[in-house]
Amino acid sequence: MLNQLRIGAASRKKNSATPETVNIKETIAIINQMHADGIIGKYAIGGAVAANFYLEPVDTKDVDVFVVLNPPPGRSLVSLDPIHRYLEARGCWLNTEGHPVISGWPVQFLPADKPLLKEALEQSVERDIDGVPVRVFTAEHLAAIAFDLGRPKDKRRLDQFREEKALDPSRLSEILERHGLLDRWLALRGN
């Protein structure tokens, strides 16, 4: 069940010998409140946490929250300070990597700054964690992003999506084509 996920080795508390199981429901509720309070705009969860809605759960070290980050009027740089101040006022803290820890979960607020990420955010879907709504990337967008990134963990996730038949192949092809990835995908698959 997605309500309880295991935080992997990179986020264990000091002197902890095994991964912790942490309730993500509270983390999502706080992120939803951030949205309701206007601290962040539309958001969607990506990465391993989102993949866990479609696949067998895997350990993860953090929650990837994709948002549109726009600089304040008259400025050219985006700052995460308003996010950090908001969370610190609610008892959250920054870990050694500089990511806020919300109800035990390190959270990365990431920009949806590329066309594929922007589309994934716009086409994200609402899911539910024990009565708490959460927006997540579709399985096909997660697969396209993993393919585009191409890291070893992304390749493993792609294999898992295919093995578990969690993708709509025609929808994935449409996404890959829109973002200039289809030829590379077909060449890799030998089609």
pLDDT of residue 71: 75
Q: Residue 20: beta bridge partners?
A: 7
pLDDT of residue 170: 96
pLDDT of residue 79: 86
pLDDT of residue 2: 54
- Parts of the chain with a pLDDT under 70: 1-22, 191
pTM for the full model? 0.86
Asked whether 24 and 76 are in contact (CB, 8 A), the reply is: no
The torsion defined by the Cα of 161, 151, 26 and 113, in degrees rounded to 10, comes to -100
Order of strands across the sheet with 100-102?
93-94, 100-102, 105-111, 63-67, 43-46, 132-136, 125-129
pLDDT of residue 84: 95
